[in-house]
């Protein structure tokens, strides 16, 4: 098809021929076109179906405020729903489809909804689908979701990259129309760091859409010259295709730059979009204004558009929506559309103006009257006009420009709750004094609608924002027409006149809302869904508000406004996620033995950000239990090695280091001898256990504290809090060294023999007894640390070397341990052995348990002050039937004892009232040949030997168990002292 | 939000971790006769002002300073930012 | 002498070098690190020792770019000192010997990965990952900031096109991935 509605002029490259398809049909457009302008050029007005009634719709606007022309772009994984055809930049090969239709766009089967519109009015969902309640989820909602809706998702992973970036400037100029350009120029010439951003791919704002000249240049030429000067300034960054989405606290703005939406596929490695976080001291909102419609019956037919949009299509794109166009206006601005189109040879059916004193024209007819209805099933064909004398007349036209005046784009000024002020002279809201910090508003966004006014106010805004001294530079000459308008919101007698075309809200719906008592604007919005679509009611809110004001007998400012919220236009989730997707969702932490573990075929588990070896399968093992059982047995019989680098390490130094640890641990550390390690429990101030670990005293003024893997950061933060906020004069210094040292647990009866081959010093039981620690050297001189501590319950050590030697160290341990069949073990075996030994971990320190619950109540020193010591003595935490940590074993060794199950008395009811406790950890013990579990039972320390039932009603488990000591293995601790 | 760090200047709030009311600095004396009640109030009773609020923020992604930030909970305006250690000393805390 | 061979933070025997477009990302394994925190009443002596060592004591947000020892401010009364690994593997011990009881010294060499990012579009790349005002920072500016959720030090070096990123060693791979991704974005 040829471009039958392409007319002269415009900023398009007519030499280019971009092929694209819409609903499978091929068309051609030009560089500089949007999808909407190219479709209109090809005579396509119908671009979609409405949300609820499936009415045929075409574009209403030529910009991002578009409620109607939402389409699906691209195919396959890049399929993107709900894109505005009015902003989608045309490129060669673009594939677009209409959406929200069943069948073809012209014969949408769901258009039947329109016939039943009486049943689908405001509040329809609330009223109709209330009963029976169960029907909602299963029947009503799926049907409604299918019928009322938007585009569809590809359901494939997005193949594109999205970046997040950070920019800093002195001044952010939002919008590049005359006021924005003038502001950027003024600030840029003064040497400030300026960013000027515009959502459009072509800078210049309305100057591209009007025929006004600036000085003796065309608007577009002045824009080009100004942009060229800005581009030459190193302190100015020009960002087209960049939407400022939101104004956040203290001069932070979110901006979405569409770096590759205008090409079929982004270049390899390049992002499709960049979400920028812009930090600026000052901002100038020069976002322009949005023209608002007038409501009349059937005002939503394809071809009926904003008058300014028709001008944009004609002047910027060289396109007319039809060869015969009417205009309906309440202000002088609407007449420009007729004049501009007439000048380009488009037939003007008539200009219908509601005012008696409308300007006349020699070129076309101007009628005083109102459009009361339209015809045309899938596009405008005729418009009925009621004349001032009450008679009616029918105009033949394929397009109509409607102008109800302009609304300043105040959106970003209300992101901090700012409410706009009403101005009677322009019948519109403008930003009030209460603005986001550092913001100044200029141009049409402030109600300065003339070109000269915008230029002047842009320059003034830059001066006042940045405190630039001196007089304003000489302003370019430009039109300075005053606003001439009669407020007029809807034609009397209108019922099915659309206010919100995206959510299908009519004048009748607003009246119904009022009738049913929803009269505040916030209620009106929620009851009718007016302004709740993805366009946030940019073209519809004012109309609804004005009608509600009229119905309630209040003025518009008394009626009030709803609040615009970020984002200004919709944002793809991919852009918000940035690069934090898939494996890069969060950073990964690798232990120093990672490569060694990979070589051994380890199965890894994510613990926090760490990747830890879970077990090391060997040839012939088909089930993880086989590997884990083998690792446990090998460790308990000879020696095993496990990477424990992930435990948090905090280096604590200073003369008051011991006194400080006395504060953060509930047990005493002041008297710990140099060269010794002690187990410690940290409480929260409320007496609940926070974390446990060890502190090793390497010198009088030097401790190394370990924390659990997950709590490394919170514990460090807590320790800094205790120091800086509670005991600021303690002479203690802390720094995290978690990653600085590679640390390995070497456990099992042969661990000493193994380490004796590596460690340069004497580590006999006498020289280096249980709970000893020291700075040592290994392998003939490498600095290292050795701790004789045991998590497994075996004779065991932890040896630490600087991380860069961690890989060499594990290999050295394996080499030295070959004669003992040293076995690397993972977190599962580690877990099995600690359960067998009755050591608590996060399962037990679960944020509800006290030292008392954990069986460590006596550890809480009463002779000193420590965090949590006072509140741990509260009556409520010290009842006689408190939970106590116990061991649990199944009576029948073949039975499971699953974690998460609850414990009930041997007889009696099974319910929450009779709950005796719960199981926190469970594992199969290869050493004992049955499951072992840890858990909490009321007065558990007095119930050893008692039979109970372990139940899990959700998983149909009921097992007879026996309560035992938590120390299943070596309760006297002989092994670890050997 | 931007927190104007007394040593490092304006920094994005994303670098910080929030704790809560700066009254947490005023930890009671454990040896007082009313220690149990004092700690209960310290631990559990907080004002929740609609307006100015002194609160503790930790510069976790920065210099690891605890800060006392005086912030308006209605407008997010920040009036002052001090090192918590200095505030603690002013309030008589020592060892 | 021991026979244990160090590995780089990225896990190799040799440092990794990637050139992406005009940007080169080099894993720098030649930096020994140790932190110094002045003790109460040791501030004066610590400052004297650091001044002698570095030429000056860097204040908040600053680094003292100096050879062979250099240093940057980490927090109140706390600095990170760096020096060539070949001559200063025992940097922490050396510092402790000079500082005595005036300061607490902690070995940090194994805790970090050091990347040197060099190229004419270094700033464009860093803007894609780093909230610090990289374009406004000058030689010797050192900020701790967050790159891909990782707490890193970013130091502007003498050359305009050179920034040093010091990040947590265990996440060297993730940090490298982030740097490389940004380099591709602006290549």
Can you give A247-311 as a three-state secondary structure string?
EECCCEEEEEECCCCCCCCCCCCCEEEEEEEEEEEEEEECCCEEECCCECECCCCCCEEEHHHHH
Answer for the pair A736, A794: CB distance below 8 angstroms, yes or no.
no
- C31: nearest CA in chain A? A804
Q: Does A713 touch chain B (CB under 8 A)?
A: yes
Q: Residue A466 contacts by C-beta under 8 Å, 6 or more apart in sequence? A: A170, A171, A187, A190, A192, A282
Write the CB contacts of A661 (distance below 8 Å, at least 6 apart in sequence): A652, A669, A680, A695, A703, A705
Chain C partners within 8 Å of A274 (Cβ): 128, 185
pTM: 0.94
Q: In this complex, is the C-beta atom of B20 within 8 Å of any C-beta atom belonging to chain A?
A: no
Cα distances (Å, whole numbers) of residue A802 to A695, A737, A777, A784, B25: 19, 10, 11, 7, 37
Give all strands (DSSP E) within A714-781, no chain letters.
Answer: 733-736, 741-747, 773-778
Unique residue bearing structure tokens 């399962």: A843
Burial of B26 (0-12, 13-18, 19+ CB in 10 A): middle
Torsion from C-alpha of A800, A804, A808, A811, nearest 10 degrees: 60
Best probe of the B interface among A168, A656, A870, by most B CBs < 10 A, is A870
Interface contact A269-C185, CB threshold 8 A: yes
Q: Which two tokens stand for residue A598?
A: 């990979």
> A594 contacts in C (CB within 8 Å)?
11
Q: Does B74 touch chain C (CB under 8 A)?
A: no
β-strands A883-890, A957-964 pairing: antiparallel
Q: Report d(CA A105, CA A118) in Å as an integer.
A: 23
Lookup: tokens for A891: 């009576």
pLDDT given for residue A138 in this prediction: 67
**C111-121: per-residue pLDDT in tens?**
999 999 999 99
Chain A residues in contact with B28 (beta carbon < 8 A)? 870
Instruction: Give the β-pairing of A304-306 and A399-403.
Output: parallel
B8 at interface of C, judged by CB pairs closer than 8 A: yes
Enumerate residue ranges in chain A where pLDDT < 50. 1
Mutate to test the interface with A, among B5, B88, B89, B91 (most CBs of A within 10 A): B88
CA dist list (Å): A94 to A26, A609, B12: 10, 41, 40
Q: What does the alpha-carbon distance between residue A194 and residue A181 come to, in Å, rounded to a whole number?
A: 11
> Helix A178-189 crosses helix A219-232 at what angle (to 10 degrees)?
30
Find, in chain B, the residue whose alpha carbon is nearest to that of C62: B8
Q: Which residues pair with C15 in a beta bridge?
A: none
B7–C76 CB contact, under 8 Å: yes
* CB distance A543 to A292 below 8 Å: yes
Bridging pattern class, strands A883-890 and A689-699: unpaired
Q: Say how many C-beta atoms besides its own lie within 10 A of residue C146's C-beta.
A: 18
Closest to C66 measured CA to CA, from C3, C178, C142: C142
| C52-70: average pLDDT | 96
CA distance A687 to chain B (A): 10
Q: Which residues neighbour A145 within 8 Å (Cβ) at sequence distance 6 or greater?
A: none
DSSP state of A168: E
Contact status, residue A291 vs residue A314, Cβ threshold 8 Å: no
Chain A residues with CB inside 8 Å of B16's CB?
A: none
Count of A–C CB contacts within 8 Å? 157
Is residue C148 less than 8 Å (CB to CB) from chain B?
no
Structure tokens at A854: 């954990």
Q: Return the pLDDT at A835.
A: 97
Distance from CA of C64 to the nearest CA of A (A): 21
pLDDT of residue A149: 59
What is the helix (H) or strand (E) element at residue A312, kind and residue range? Answer: helix A307-315
What is residue A380's predicted lDDT score, i.e. its pLDDT?
97
C66 CB-near residues (< 8 Å, 6+ apart)? C54, C55
Flag if B63 and C145 touch (Cβ within 8 Å): no
Task: Please answer whether residues A371 and A400 qualify as being in contact, where contact means their C-beta atoms are separated by less than 8 angstroms.
Answer: yes
Instruction: Return the bridge partners of C24, or none.
Output: C19, C118
Model confidence pLDDT, tens digit, residues B46-89:
999 999 999 999 999 999 999 999 999 999 999 999 999 999 99
Report the C-alpha gap between A974 and A794 in whole angstroms. Answer: 9
- Longest C-alpha distance within chain A, in Å? 115
CB-CB neighbors (< 8 A) of B93 in chain A: 725-729
3-state secondary structure A859-911: HCCCCCCCCCCCHHHCHHHCCCCCEEEEEEEECCCCCCCCCCCEEEECCCCCC
The beta-carbon neighbor of B65 closest among C61, C75, C145 is C75
The per-residue pLDDT for B65 is 98
Q: Cβ contacts (< 8 Å) between B40 and chain A: which residues?
A: 871, 874
Contacts of A726 in chain B (CB under 8 A): 25, 27, 88, 93
Torsion of CA C2, C7, C9, C15, to 10 degrees: 120
| H helices present in A19-132, as ranges | 35-41, 112-115, 124-128
Q: Tell me: the pLDDT tens digits for A329-376?
A: 999 999 999 999 999 999 999 999 999 999 999 999 999 999 999 999
Share of chain B above pLDDT 70, in %: 100
DSSP state of A606: E
């Amino acid at each position: 098809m040829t471009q039958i509605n392409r007319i002269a002029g415009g900023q398009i490259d007519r030499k280019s021929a971009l092929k694209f398809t819409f609903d499978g049909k091929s068309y051609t457009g030009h560089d500089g076109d949007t999808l909407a302008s190219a479709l209109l050029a090809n005579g396509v007005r119908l671009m979609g179906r409405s949300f609820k009634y499936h009415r045929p719709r075409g574009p209403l606007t030529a910009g991002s405020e578009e409620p109607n022309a939402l389409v699906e772009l691209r195919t396959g994984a890049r399929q993107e729903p709900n894109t505005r055809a009015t902003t989608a930049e045309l490129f060669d090969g673009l594939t677009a489809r209409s959406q929200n239709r069943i069948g073809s766009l012209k014969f949408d089967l769901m258009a039947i909804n329109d016939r039943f519109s009486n049943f689908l009015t405001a509040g329809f969902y609330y009223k109709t689908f209330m009963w029976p309640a169960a029907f909602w989820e299963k029947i009503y909602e799926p049907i409604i979701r299918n019928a009322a809706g938007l585009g569809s998702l590809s359901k494939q992973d997005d193949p594109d990259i999205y970046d997040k970036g950070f920019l800093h400037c002195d001044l952010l100029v939002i919008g590049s129309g005359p006021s924005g350009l003038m502001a950027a120029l003024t600030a840029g010439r003064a040497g400030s760091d300026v960013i000027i951003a515009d959502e459009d791919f072509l800078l210049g704002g309305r100057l591209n859409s009007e025929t006004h000249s600036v000085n003796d240049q065309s608007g577009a030429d002045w824009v080009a010259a100004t942009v060229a000067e800005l581009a030459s300034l190193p302190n100015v960054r020009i960002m087209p295709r960049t939407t400022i989405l939101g104004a956040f606290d203290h001069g932070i703005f979110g901006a979405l730059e569409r770096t590759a939406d205008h090409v079929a596929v982004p270049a390899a490695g390049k992002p499709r979009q960049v979400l920028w976080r812009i930090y600026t001291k000052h901002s100038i909102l020069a976002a322009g204004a949005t023209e608002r419609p007038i409501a009349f019956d059937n005002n939503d037919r394809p071809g009926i558009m904003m008058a300014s949009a028709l001008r944009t299509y004609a002047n910027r794109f060289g396109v007319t929506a039809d060869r015969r166009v009417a205009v309906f206006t309440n202000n002088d601005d609407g007449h420009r559309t007729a004049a501009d189109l007439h000048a380009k040879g488009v037939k003007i059916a008539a200009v219908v103006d509601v005012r008696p004193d409308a300007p006349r024209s020699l070129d076309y007819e101007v009628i005083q009257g109102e459009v009361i209805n339209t015809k045309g099933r899938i596009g405008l064909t005729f418009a009925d006009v009621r004349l001032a004398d009450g008679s009616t007349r029918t105009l033949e036209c394929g397009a109509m420009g409607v102008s109800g005046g302009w609304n300043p784009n105040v959106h970003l000024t209300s992101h901090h709750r700012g409410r706009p002020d009403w101005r009677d002279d322009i019948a519109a809201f403008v930003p009030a004094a209460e603005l986001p910090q550092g913001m100044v508003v200029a141009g049409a966004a402030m109600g300065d609608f003339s070109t000269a006014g915008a230029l002047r106010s842009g320059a003034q805004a830059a001066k006042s924002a940045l405190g630039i001294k001196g007089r304003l530079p000489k302003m370019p000459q430009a039109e300075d027409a005053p606003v001439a308008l009669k407020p007029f919101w809807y034609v009397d007698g209108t019922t099915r006149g659309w206010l919100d075309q995206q959510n299908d809200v009519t004048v009748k719906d607003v009246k119904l809302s009022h009738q049913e008592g929803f009269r505040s604007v916030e209620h009106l919005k929620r009851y009718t869904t007016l302004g709740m679509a993805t366009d946030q009611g940019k073209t519809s809110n004012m109309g609804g508000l004005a009608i509600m004001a009229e119905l309630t007998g209040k003025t518009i400012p008394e009626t009030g406004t709803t609040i615009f919220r970020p984002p200004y236009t919709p944002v793809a989730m991919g852009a918000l996620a940035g690069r934090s997707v898939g494996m890069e969702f969060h950073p990964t932490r690798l232990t120093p033995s990672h490569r060694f573990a990979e070589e051994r075929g380890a199965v890894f588990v994510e613990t926090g950000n760490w990747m830890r070896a879970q077990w090391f399968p060997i040839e012939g093992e088909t089930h993880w239990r086989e590997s884990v059982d083998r690792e446990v047995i090998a460790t308990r019989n000879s020696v095993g090695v496990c990477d424990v680098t992930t435990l948090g390490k905090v280096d604590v130094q200073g003369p008051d280091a011991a006194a400080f640890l006395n504060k953060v641990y509930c047990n005493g550390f002041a008297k710990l001898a140099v060269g010794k390690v002690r187990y410690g429990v940290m409480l929260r101030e409320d007496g609940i256990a926070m974390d446990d670990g060890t502190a090793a005293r390497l010198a009088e003024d030097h401790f190394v504290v370990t924390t659990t893997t997950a709590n490394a950061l919170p514990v460090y933060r807590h320790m800094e809090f205790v120091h800086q906020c509670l005991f600021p004069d303690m002479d203690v210094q802390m720094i995290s060294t978690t990653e600085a040292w590679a640390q390995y647990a070497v456990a099992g009866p042969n661990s000493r023999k193994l380490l004796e081959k590596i460690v340069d010093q004497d580590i006999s039981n006498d020289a280096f007894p249980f709970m000893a620690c020291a700075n040592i050297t290994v392998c003939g001189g490498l600095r290292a640390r050795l701790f004789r501590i045991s998590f497994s319950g075996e004779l065991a050590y932890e040896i630490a070397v600087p991380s860069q030697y961690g890989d060499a160290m594990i290999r050295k341990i394996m080499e030295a341990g070959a004669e003992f069949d040293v076995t690397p073990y993972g977190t599962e075996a580690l877990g099995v052995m600690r359960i067998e030994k009755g050591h608590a971990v996060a399962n037990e320190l679960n944020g509800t348990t006290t030292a008392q619950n954990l069986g460590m109540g006596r550890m809480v020193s009463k002779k000193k002050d420590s965090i949590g010591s006072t509140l741990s003595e509260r009556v409520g935490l010290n009842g006689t039937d408190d939970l106590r940590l116990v061991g649990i074993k199944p009576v029948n060794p073949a039975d499971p004892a699953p974690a998460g199950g609850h414990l009930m008395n041997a007889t009696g009811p099974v319910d929450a009232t009779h709950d005796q406790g719960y199981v926190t950890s469970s594992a199969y013990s290869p050493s004992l040949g049955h499951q072992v579990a840890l858990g909490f039972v009321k007065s558990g320390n007095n119930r050893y030997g008692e039979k109970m039932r372990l139940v899990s009603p959700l998983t149909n488990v009921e097992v007879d168990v026996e309560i035992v000591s938590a120390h299943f293995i070596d309760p006297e601790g002989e092994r670890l002292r050997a | 939000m931007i927190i104007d760090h007394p040593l490092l200047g304006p920094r994005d709030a994303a670098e910080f971790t929030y704790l809560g009311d700066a009254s947490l600095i005023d930890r009671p004396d454990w040896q007082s006769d009313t220690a149990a009640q004092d700690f209960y109030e310290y631990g559990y009773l907080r004002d929740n002002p609609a307006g100015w609020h002194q609160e503790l923020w930790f510069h976790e992604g920065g210099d690891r300073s605890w800060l006392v930030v005086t912030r308006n909970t209605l407008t997010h305006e920040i009036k002052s930012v001090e090192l918590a250690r200095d505030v603690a000393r002013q309030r008589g805390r020592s060892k | 002498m021991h026979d244990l061979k160090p590995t780089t933070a990225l896990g190799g025997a040799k440092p990794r070098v990637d050139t992406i477009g005009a940007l080169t990302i080099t894993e720098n394994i030649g930096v020994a690190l140790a932190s110094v925190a002045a003790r109460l009443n040791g501030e004066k002596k610590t400052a004297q020792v650091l001044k002698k060592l570095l030429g000056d004591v860097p204040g908040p947000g600053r680094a003292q770019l100096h050879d062979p020892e250099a240093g940057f401010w980490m927090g109140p009364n706390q600095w990170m000192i760096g020096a060539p690994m070949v001559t200063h593997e025992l940097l922490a011990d050396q510092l402790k010997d000079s500082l005595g009881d005036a300061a607490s010294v902690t070995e940090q060499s194994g805790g970090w990965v050091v990347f040197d990012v060099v190229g004419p579009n270094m700033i464009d790349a860093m803007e894609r990952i780093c909230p610090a005002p990289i374009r406004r920072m000058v030689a010797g500016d050192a900020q701790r900031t967050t790159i891909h959720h990782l707490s890193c030090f970013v130091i502007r070096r003498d050359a305009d096109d050179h920034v040093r990123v010091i990040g947590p060693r265990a996440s060297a791979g993730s940090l490298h991935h982030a740097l490389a991704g940004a380099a591709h974005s602006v290549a």
